[in-house]
Amino acid sequence: MTSDINSVLQAPSWTMDDAYVDIGAPRYEASFRRTGELVDALEASKSPIAHDALPAALSLYDEAVTLSSSLGSFLKCLGAKDSGNDAVPAEQSRLNALTARLERAAEPLFAALEEIPADDPIRAVPPLSDWAFELEDASRHWKRRLSASDRDWLGAFEAEVFKPLGETFKTLQKGVDFEAENAHGEKERIRAAKLVSVIKGAPDRTLRANVNAGLNASYGARADLYAALLNALHGFRLAAFGRAGVEPLSVSLHQNRMSEGALRAMRGAILKHIDTVRDAVRVRAPYFGDTRLKIYDLMAPAPERGKTEVPPLIPYAEGIGIVKSALGNVHPDMAAFIDMMLERRWIDAVLSDAKVGGAFYSRFNEFKCPRVFSSYTGTITTVLQQGHELGHAFHYWVMRDLPTVQTEFPMTLTETASTFNEAVIRAHLLEKAASRDEVFGMLWQEMRSCANFLMNTMVRMDFELAFLKERASGVVSARRSVELMRRAWTDWYGDSTDGADDYLWAYKLHYYKTDQLIYNYPYTVGYLLSQGLMHALATKGKDFYPFYTALLRDTGRMTVDGIIEKHFGADPAGEAFWEDCLAAPLAAVRRFKAEFSDPNVR
C-alpha cells in the first residue's frame, strides 16, 4: 500500500552524501575524532584559566559545540529515517558521553568568563563578542545554582541515564502495529509514523475513525509503560530542580527565553476570547452530522460538498508548487530557497513504515546546511506541513553566516517562521479561491489552525504542568494521567468536542524529549507572532522582507520579549499585543460562522 501511494505522490528522499554519509564513514569519524581532541585540549587547560587565554579556550569550546551539535543532528536524522537502525542508539550514547565530558571540561572556562568585568576590553574580542548574549543568558541557567561537584555528577548522570531514556520512547513506539479499515473496505497496516499522519488529517474519515479506535486500544493496553517512562523523565528533572531550588516552569521559560509575564498575558488574551476560539471547533461538527466534533475530526480536511469518496491525492510536485507560489509572493528568495532544498536533496518526505512519526527540521552546523523530514501523504494538511518545516529551514538559512552560537534560537522563536509560512500559504489559497467551495476549504483550514494553536497546545501545557505538580508527590499512574488530560482538555475545549484525546500524553513525542521541557506553548507563541508578521506583511509592502529577515537574524541573540519590544514596538507583558495578534484568527472564525454555519446552504 505504501509503495503504491509513493508511486503517485513522488515525494523526495534526502541524501547524506554531502554531510557525514553514515555512521563510521571517514567524514563522520574525522569530526568525532576532532571533537574528542578539542575536549582533550579543554580538559588539559590549567585551572583557573588565565585572562589572556580565555579567547582561545572559548574558541576550542565553540568549535566542539559546532561539531557535536552537527553529529547529534545527523544521528537524529538517521534514527528518524529508519527507526530500526540499532546503530543509532549506541552511537548516540557514545556522543552523549563525549558531550558530557565537554560540558564538564568547560566548567572552569565559564566560571572565569563570569568573573570578567562588564567594561573589560576583552569582551569586545571574538569569540567573546560573539557569545555576549549567550554568556549573559547562561549566567542565569538553573544549573548555575548547583555546586561544581553537583553539576559534574549531574552531567554524567544525564549522559548515562537521562538522555538514553529519550530513546526508550522510540522503542515503545515500535509496539504501535495494528490494522485499520479504510473507506474502500481495505485493511491498512498502521505503524507509528502512519498513525501520526492519519490523525493529522487523512481525508478518509472511515480510516481516521478506525485509526483513532486502534490508537486508543494500542496505547491503552500499553499505557503503564508510557506512564512509567514519563514518571522517570520528570522524576529525574524534579530531583535536579529541587536540588537547585527552581520550578519547572521557570526552567522552561528560561530555555525558551520568554518572561512569565509574557506567557500569562498571552494566556489571558486567549481566555478572554475562549468562546470564539471554541467556535472554531463547534462550527465544524455539523459537517459530519454531529453536534460536537469527534476527536478524530479535529484535524480533518474540509469535506467536499456532495462527495462521499476520499478526495484525490495531491502529488508532491503540485503540493510544493503551492508552497513556492505562496512564499514567492512574499519575496522571490523564499521560493528560490525551496528550489535549492529540492535540488540539493535536503528534503525527505517519502512514506515509509520504517520512519518515526511526525516532522521536523534539523541542520548540520559544521556544513551550514539544513534538512527537512516528514511523511507526505498528499493532503492539504501535509502541504501546509511542508511549508511549516521549510519555514524552520529558511529561518536558519538567512542567519547561517552568523557565529553558530547566534543561530541557536529558542523554540518560542523557532516556531515563528514556520507558522508564518503556514499563514502565508493559507492566505494565498484563500485569495486564489475561485469558488465559494474553495473559500470554504481555506476558512476550514483557518478553523483547524486556530483551534490547534490556541487550545490544543495549551491543553498539552496544562497537562504537563499538572503532571509535574503531582509527580512531585509521587508516581502518577496511567489512569491518573488520563484523568489529568481530560481535565485539561475540558478546561480549554469545554463541550465543543465529543470526549477528550485521552492518550495524547502517551503518543505525543514532545512529552518525551530530553532536550526540551514543557514544549507546547512555544507553538502558540509562534502562531501568534506569525499573525503579527502577517499584519506587518500587509502594511509594510516592499519593506517587509528586510524587516522579516532582520527579525529572524535577531532570534539567536534576543529574548521573545526583546524581539516584541524591538521589532513590533509593543509590550510583551501586556494583553493588548497578544489581542492584536488574535484579531485575524478570531475574524476568520466569525466569518466562517456567518457564511458557513449551516452545511445545507454551503
Amino acid letter for position 120: D
pLDDT of residue 357: 76
Stretches where the chain sits below pLDDT 50 are none
User: Greatest CA separation found in the chain?
Assistant: 78
pTM score, two decimals? Answer: 0.89
pLDDT tens for each residue of 244-293 = 999 999 999 999 999 999 999 999 999 999 999 999 999 999 999 999 99
Q: Which stretches does DSSP call E strand in 263-364?
A: 293-294, 347-348, 360-364
Amino acid letter for position 370: P
Q: How far apart are CA 33 and CA 210, in angstroms?
A: 49
Q: How far apart are CA 393 and CA 520, in angstroms?
A: 20
Q: Which three cell numbers stand for residue 332?
A: 522571490
CA distances from 602 to 82, 426, 596 (A): 45, 20, 6
Q: How far apart are CA 119 and CA 85, in angstroms?
A: 51
Structural contact between residues 397 and 337, judged by C-beta atoms closer than 8 angstroms = yes
Q: How far apart are CA 495 and CA 480, in angstroms?
A: 21
pLDDT tens for each residue of 535-560 = 999 999 999 999 999 999 999 999 99
Among 448, 340, 330, smallest CA distance to 390 is for 340
Structural contact between residues 391 and 420, judged by C-beta atoms closer than 8 angstroms = yes
Q: Which three cell numbers stand for residue 262?
A: 509574557
| DSSP tag of 309 | S
Direct distance between the N- and C-terminal alpha carbons of the chain, in angstroms, rounded to an integer: 35
pLDDT tens for each residue of 455-472 = 999 999 999 999 999 999
Q: How far apart are CA 364 and CA 375, in angstroms?
A: 21
DSSP per residue over 33-94, as a string?
HHHHHHHHHHHTS-SSPPGGGHHHHHHHHHHHHHHHHHHHHHHHHHHHH-TT-THHHHHHHH
DSSP per residue over 438-488, as a string?
HHHHHHHHHHHHHHIIIIIHHHHHHHHHHHHHHHTTSPPPHHHHHHHHHHH
Return the C-alpha torsion angle 490, 493, 495, 498, nearest 10. -90
Tell me the Cα Rg of the chain: 24
